Structure 1
Amino acid sequence: MLTSYIYLHGFASSPQSTKAKDLSDRFTKIQIKLKTPDLNAGDFSHLTITRQINQVTTEFPDHSVPVTLIGSSLGGLTSAHLAQQNPQVQRLILLAPAFGFLSHWLPKLGSEKIQSWQQEQYLLVYHYGEGRELPLSYNFVTDAAQYQESLLQRPLPTLILHGKQDEVIPIQASRDFARSRPWVELIELDSDHSLANVTAQIWQAIRSFCQLGNDYRA
């Protein structure tokens, strides 16, 4: 049966990121379309995980078509929660998924910055896709707080690829997630959060996991 493939980029990134374009090109070469929606939706300032979930759901094809989600960083976390809610998602591929995102990110900001963010409602965040700082609403934090990993209990084939030198989301977050979920396969790579030096290994793992042989026809 045909499968729909959708890629979810990371926080403050875009469909023009190196990973998104690399995977899109590789899928195109084997004649499969990889959808790469822009999760900024023209309004990064009001980004929330809930908004991302709702947006990606509108990209889903007819209910009879299974969906494979490929999510990077915050896109990975969003993919996992989308799959928990939606049985149409039949496979998950998570690249350095942002498990425990707030617990890793907020301490780096410091309590003073967080307090002023709460008071002023907006914080300037560097947006890699735009190449400049953009304001982000504090609603992002309050919304993200409800998406706990403990809720992710749907047993569906899941592949996680995570760099052992990840400086943004420690690989331990993925190890902890995989340990209590036997349906999850974790591949540890010699890389950092960008995974930029292991794109060929990532593609090989995706092809194997999705059984995309040379003779595959979309």
Structure 2
Amino acid sequence: MSDLPSVPGPVAPRWLYLHGFASGPDSAKGVAVARHFEARGHHVARLNLRVPSMEQLRLSAMLETVRAALGGKEDRAVLFGSSLGGLTAARIAAEDARVCGLVLLAPAFHVVPQLRKRMGEAAWGHWKTSGWIETDDFAEKRKVRIHSGFIEDAEAVDARTGGWPDVRVPTLLIHGKADDTCDIRYSRQWAEGRRHVRMVEVEDGHELTASLPRILAESEEFLRPWGA
């Protein structure tokens, strides 16, 4: 019998799902992704990114929540991210070497300018001056007020990390051509020239509901190197 100490094999990465703005860990896409891959032996942890609360939502708090979920220094993770969760996943991957792969679904690149354009100047100005805006909470099926501190916080994150996340890990990006929430042009600009990014454009809107079978099939094929 050898007296040499055993050398542990590579640690299998954690799989984490990051939901979008005004959504939650029990979103339809998150549940579908988790069920699909758990049937194939991979636990997908669906994080709660309504932090510190939905009313006081902050991108910086979302980033800290994901960092904490990545585990220890030697751990690795594959991140699925939808909309604002996609932006969060990309920001984390650009800064943290523990992230080894990404699946981004309609990521909210340049989230503040996109919010401003979609809301219009009158509503945007009201949000900044009054401090609150009311929107739909898709997770709890109610109206919710979100504090304007979200704007300043997201702008501060962009100022600190740059406008585009500098992601260097293999990435699958799926975006709907008819998305009227997160403009597909930003995903196209980000993916252009990045050989490690596979971008798939589908005939769908922001929720990507009709494309769920395609999302699961593309993700499974993409994630084969991680045992999918």
Give the alignment's TM-score, normalised by structure 2.
0.88
Matched, 1:183 2:166: no
The answer (yes or no) to whether the contact 2:181–2:206 under 8 Å persists in 1 is yes
Could you report, residue by residue, the CA deviation over 1:145-182 in whole angstroms, capped at 9, with x for unpaired residues?
23446442232111101111112112211111111422
1:116 aligns with 2:126: yes
Q: Equivalents in 2 of 1:41, 1:107: separation in Å? A: 24
**Structure 1 counterpart SS, 2:70:** coil
Measured at CA, do residues 147 and 186 of structure 1 come closer, stay the same or move farther in structure 2, by a change above 3 Å? farther
Residue 19 of structure 1 is matched in structure 2 by 29
Equivalent runs, 1:62-141 vs 2, <5 Å: 62-141=72-151
Which segment is superposed worse, 66-75 or 188-197?
Answer: 188-197
Letter in 1 for 2:171: T
The Cα of 1:63 is off from its aligned counterpart by: 2.1
1-structure distance, mates of 2:129, 2:74: 46
Aligned mates of 1:205, 1:37 — CA distance in 2: 22
Q: 1:162 aligns with which of 172, 175, 197?
A: 175
1:9 aligns with 2:19: yes
Where does the alignment leave 5 or more consecutive residues of structure 2 unmatched? Answer: 1-9
Q: CA RMSD in A?
A: 1.8
Q: Cα distance, 1:212 vs. partner?
A: 6.4
2:207 alignment partner, SS class = coil
Structure 1: unaligned runs, 5 residues or longer: none
Whether the 8 Å CA contact 1:81–1:147 is kept in 2: the answer is no
Equivalent residues of 2:51, 2:61 under 8 A apart: no
- Please state how far the C-alpha of 1:107 moved relative to its aligned partner: 2.1
For residues 42-69 of structure 1, give each alpha carbon's deviation from its aligned partner in whole angstroms, at most 9, with x where no partner exists.
7101111100000111111232221111
Whether the aligned pair in 2 keeps the contact of 1:163 and 1:191 (CA below 8 Å) is yes
* Residue 193 in structure 1 maps to residue 213 in structure 2: no
What do residues 107-166 of structure 1 show as CA deviations (whole Å, max 9, x unaligned)?
222222222222221111211111111111111011112344644223211110111111
Residue 76 of structure 1: CA displacement?
0.1
Asked if the contact 1:165/1:190 (under 8 Å) is kept, the reply is yes
Higher CA-based Rg: 2
Number of residue-to-residue matches in the alignment: 215
CA distance in 2, matches of 1:115, 1:108: 13
Percent of aligned positions with the same letter in both sequences? 27
Q: Is the 8 A contact 2:176 2:204 kept in 1?
A: yes
TM-score normalised to structure 1 length: 0.92
